[in-house]
Structure 1
Amino acid sequence: MSVGRTTATGGMETSYGFRRVGEGDKQPLVNEVFHKVAKRYDVMNDLMSGGMHRVWKDAMVTWLNPPKRPGWTSLDVAGGTGDIAFRIVAASRGNAHITVLDINGSMLAVGRERAEKKKLTDNLDFVEANAEELPFADASFDAYTIAFGIRNVPRIDVALSEAFRVLKPGGRFLCLEFSEVDLPVLDKVYEAWSFNAIPKIGRAVTGDGEPYSYLVESIRKFPNQQNFATMIQRAGFERVSFRNYSGGIAAAHSGWKL
């Protein structure tokens, strides 16, 4: 593909996939995508990643290593369906309290339903709000997680600053996101699969391939590992690092508010 990734200086705020859109136009378009895919979101994640998203999410939560004591709190942003929150509760042996925040009410509805079935409602709160304007006081949480959501936020730098603000001193930021493949053969195979197969699978499963074309394009536009790490550092985080999964198809980024 001739369209390149954005850099650490930004550009995602006017990028709806490969389309350039006006300031303020991206969020409504992204909202519509997730209203469309909410009911089949987890099924499509399995199909798009060959089930690997489960392994990557498990690895991120293992790296987070939530303490197994009461009183520890985490904010999971863009976490509507509950995938990360449920894993954190399990890893903490039922002690952690997670606030699941998403801008999309359809995604949150799926998460609430799943939480009720899993009998985890005492451990979870669900909040509909924007990652760029978190409705919480400074220093409210011990951890902030976001999985496969940051690239859908128009102003990533603002979201990162908000993450820093709401974390307590000593708090941890963890982000899991699709990234830049660093293996010469895998990158060609992955790109062909992404652009040719995923929209077709989306159309077959949900009846609409367009949302999945956007999702694939947004992955290709997102800053690479080093550029995104630079953005995290600019937001104020220290000890910033990342881990590649599956040859860089996904990467987990970590930072601390020290």
Structure 2
Amino acid sequence: MAPLWLKDWPKDSAKRAAYVDEVFLRVAPQYDRLTRLLSFGRDERWKEAVIELLPPGARQARVLDLATGTGAFPDLLRRAGFQGTILGLDRSQAMLARARAKCAAHERVYLARGDLNAIPVAAGTFDAILVGYGLRYIGDLRGAMVAAHRALRPGGVFISLDFGLPPSRWYRRLCLAYLFLFGTLWGLVLHGKLDTYWHIVESLRAYPGQRTLENALEEAGFARIAIVEQLGGISVLARAEKLAEAPAAAASAAR
């Protein structure tokens, strides 16, 4: 049972967006430090694993980083030798300010305010789309996956790293308790406020989980969907591809 003082995660998209904007305005200065602390230093390795899931020969790829936050993926991509164009989108101006500072020395890294449900690019623009810890904040998960599918070129890949919901109920409760207790501790230490990081547990309580994500990807038209659970399912890697040719088109051409 969740502590009574946790808020219910807003169901209305506009209210949720406003709440998320408020949250990240507060946490932006300490965001990178907090993710390292809560993950016991594994966060960067998990993000490197996302980059390793990009197709071979993708060094010149056009990459869209949704919910770019403080610019971790653009920075890691450049440090790994990727030379293609990278566009990072995020709702939070406070997080984008951190991303601009982190990526200031990198060429062809563009950062802009944008929403996962309304990706402002032409169809078939990108070779890869990455999302790090952003799916829990989306009001319309299926709609966002449709938008991502549209933005990818045929043969492109979608890769996400996020929290998940462990299939074991007792382990799920243990993980939520850990995130609540240590989020409260670090909220007090880093910000002087107990509730600074309660949004993590609030969003996870409302998140439909990795099975729903898998269904949303499939309904959006993605194929070769792989869901990899880490640490018993509290961390989840998801990878999916936009087929080079839609099955219906291939069947029609074969007639």
How many residues were matched structurally?
A: 241
Separation in 1, partners of 2:160, 2:183: 23
Task: Tell me the secondary structure at the aligned position of residue 253 of structure 1.
Answer: strand
Letter matched to residue 199 of structure 1: T
Separation in 1, partners of 2:13, 2:125: 30
Q: 34-43 vs 244-253, which deviates more?
A: 244-253
Q: Tell me the equivalent position of 2:49.
A: 59
Structure 1 residues 222-256: Cα deviation after superposition (integer angstroms, max 9, x where no partner): 12222211111111111111111122121111111
| TM-score normalised according to structure 2 size | 0.87
Q: Alpha carbon RMSD of aligned pairs, Å?
A: 2.2
| Higher RCO by CA contacts (8 Å cutoff, separation 6 or greater) | 1
Contact residue 142 and residue 168 of structure 1 kept, 8 A: yes
Whether 1:149 aligns to 2:134 is yes
Whether 1:161 aligns to 2:146 is yes
Which of the numbers 209, 232, 235 marks the counterpart of 2:194?
Answer: 209
Structure 1 residues 151-186: Cα deviation after superposition (integer angstroms, max 9, x where no partner): 112222221111011100111001111002246775
Percent identity at matched positions? Answer: 29
Task: Tell me the secondary structure at the aligned position of residue 117 of structure 2.
Answer: coil
Whether 1:39 aligns to 2:29 is yes
Which of the numbers 85, 90, 96 marks the counterpart of 2:79?
Answer: 90
Deviation at 1:149? 0.6
Alignment of 1:120-135 (within 5 A): 120=106, 122-135=107-120
Q: Tell me the equivalent position of 1:101.
A: 89
Separation in 2, partners of 1:164, 1:210: 36
Deviation at 1:189? 3.6
Separation in 2, partners of 1:114, 1:151: 24
Structure 1 residues 87-108: Cα deviation after superposition (integer angstroms, max 9, x where no partner): 22233x2412210111111101
Contact residue 179 and residue 200 of structure 2 kept, 8 A: no
Whether 1:233 aligns to 2:218 is yes
Q: Tell me the equivalent position of 1:81.
A: 70
Structure 1 residues 52-95: Cα deviation after superposition (integer angstroms, max 9, x where no partner): 2222111111122463543x20000001211112222233x241
| TM-score normalised according to structure 1 size | 0.86
Letter matched to residue 19 of structure 2: L
Whether 1:251 aligns to 2:236 is yes
Contact residue 56 and residue 245 of structure 1 kept, 8 A: no
Separation in 2, partners of 1:17, 1:49: 23
Q: Which runs of 5+ in 1 are unaligned?
A: 4-15
Q: 1:225 to 1:68 in 2, by over 3 A?
A: closer
Structure 1 residues 10-62: Cα deviation after superposition (integer angstroms, max 9, x where no partner): xxxxxx96344445211011111001111110011111221122221111111
Separation in 2, partners of 1:42, 1:99: 20
Task: Tell me the secondary structure at the aligned position of residue 64 of structure 1.
Answer: coil
Separation in 1, partners of 2:236, 2:103: 27
Task: Tell me the secondary structure at the aligned position of residue 14 of structure 2.
Answer: coil
Contact residue 17 and residue 221 of structure 1 kept, 8 A: no
Deviation at 1:206? 1.7
